[in-house]
Structure 1
Amino acid sequence: MKTNAVTACAFAIGLSLAAGSAGAFELEDAGLTIGVTPTISSDYLFRGISQTQNRPAVQGTVDIQHSTGFYVGAFASNVSFLGTNARQEVDALAGWRTTVAGVSLDLGGIAYTYPGYRNPAGSGLFDLQYFELSAKASYEFEPVKVLGAINYSPNYQLESGTGVYVEGGVEVALPFNLTLGGRLGYQWIQNNTRWGSPDFANWNVTVSTKVYDFVLTAGYFDTDLSRSECFGGQKICAARGMVYLSRTF
């Protein structure tokens, strides 16, 4: 693993632990709830595509929510993209959560950033950083939860124009503290040539269980992109099994 990737992993762990040591708890007087989730994963998949060249990832998420439903958060992970010097991703999140007629809603925005990434003039590289507006909804009728989401970017990653992503899913609570989940999503990109692939579908099936305070998840992930359609013939869009372990403080 290259030095920058090690730095990215350390940053993700540090972000999680620093926030956790500050207190994963409720500040009742301020109306705040703070959650911290460190994760170790066999890969970092984003919409079915590996962000780490099929290598493991160390990640951290921080979520701070006010009693009014407004929240801010951050996510960090190591990454690796062929032909770039990007070694870490740090995202900023903000939005509002509420429940209407039993439907949980999450309306917000996500800024995807890659500290240290450079695309010098004349290099032929485009900007990795971008922004999305996001709307999520879920409804639970035990033991089933249904989920849906839509994300919109006015200028998607690699300056590839308008990007729209929709996703639907279901989670089913099973005996023995198991949860069976499934997701199906589709990504539209305005400038497919600049992005590096056609519009694509992705899906996954997962099983998770809680062991003490940890959540262990294993699953199957895939896209409908062939090898020749995947960013110049890379293997990062192929079907794979994945395992990840997380804990929310």
Structure 2
Amino acid sequence: MDRRAVTPRRVALSLALLVSSVGSVAATELSGSATLTSDYVWRGTSQSDEGPAVQAGIKFAGMHGFYAQAWGSDVRFAPQTAASHELDLVAGWAGPLSDAFALDAALTHYRYPGAAVDLDWTEFGATLTWRTRAWLQLAHASDALASGAPGTYAQVGMRIPVDDRLWFEIAVGRYWLHAASGANDYTHVQAGVV
């Protein structure tokens, strides 16, 4: 796809139209979050130079599974980028496919307001979940990480219940980045307790 065809203005307009159409269907839920984290890790790499980050988000969920959200975080990239904030604008649909399976599909536009270079990019992704215990996530961008080259990400994970309130979670992810992007493909593993 021609990189010039997906402009921030077009993405913002698309998100605004989706929010408008979802809002006209009748709001069912508005929620928000705020977090102070010791490190902002995304797909296995630190986005805050292994330092703390303040994060906040707001989500509007309409009827029939459609939703829109905005989420932001502090970031610390290479000094020449002058990037200090990330703003993710998301429009998507989430809902059950059957008693066992659920799907969440979304278009995400990553913005870095005030950056000295153009770091903005857009990605389509979907996560298929089985009984909230296992998931498969796939995402693709024609301009991955604002590199001008495509990239595809996949993750498979599972949650293992320890008791009614405690779960062990493990996931393996792989990011395939086109050689023209200047970045190497990589694999990461994450584990935690929820």
Matched residues in 2 for 1:111 and 1:48: separation?
19
Return the offset for 1:113.
0.3
Residue in 1 aligned with 2:93?
96
Matched residues in 2 for 1:162 and 1:38: separation?
32
Return the offset for 1:177.
2.1
1:69 pairs with 65, 70, 73, which one?
Answer: 65
Runs of 4+ in 1 over 6 A off after TM superposition: none
Kept in 2, the 8 Å contact 1:72–1:93? The answer is yes
Given the alignment of the two structures, is residue 159 of structure 1 paired with residue 147 of structure 2, yes or no? Answer: yes
Q: SS of 1:157's equivalent?
A: helix
Give the total of aligned pairs.
169
Q: How does 1:1-249 map to 2 (within 5 A)?
A: 30-83=26-79, 84-102=81-99, 103-119=101-117, 127-140=118-131, 145-175=133-163, 177-191=165-179, 194-195=181-182, 197-208=183-194
5+ residue gaps, structure 1, are 1-26, 120-126, 209-249
Q: SS of 1:68's equivalent?
A: helix
Q: Deviations over 1:170-229 (max 9, x none)?
A: 01222272121011110011135x44x310001101012xxxxxxxxxxxxxxxxxxxxx
Q: By percentage of residues, which structure has more helix?
A: 2
Percent identity of equivalent pairs: 27
Matched residues in 2 for 1:105 and 1:59: separation?
25
What is the RMSD computed on CA atoms of the aligned residues?
1.8
Matched residues in 1 for 2:156 and 2:107: separation?
19
- The structure that has the greater radius of gyration is 1
Kept in 2, the 8 Å contact 1:160–1:189? The answer is no
Kept in 2, the 8 Å contact 1:154–1:161? The answer is yes
Kept in 2, the 8 Å contact 1:187–1:200? The answer is yes
Q: SS of 1:128's equivalent?
A: coil
Matched residues in 2 for 1:53 and 1:155: separation?
23
Kept in 2, the 8 Å contact 1:160–1:190? The answer is no
Q: Deviations over 1:12-54 (max 9, x none)?
A: xxxxxxxxxxxxxxx9x93421121211111001111010111
Matched residues in 2 for 1:112 and 1:31: separation?
25
Q: Deviations over 1:105-144 (max 9, x none)?
A: 011100000000022xxxxxxx31110001111111xxx7
TM-score (norm 2): 0.81
Return the offset for 1:158.
3.5
Write the letter of the residue equivalent to 1:190. Answer: H
Kept in 2, the 8 Å contact 1:160–1:191? The answer is no
Kept in 2, the 8 Å contact 1:168–1:184? The answer is yes
Return the offset for 1:160.
4.1
5+ residue gaps, structure 2, are 1-22
Write the letter of the residue equivalent to 1:94. Answer: A
Return the offset for 1:61.
2.0
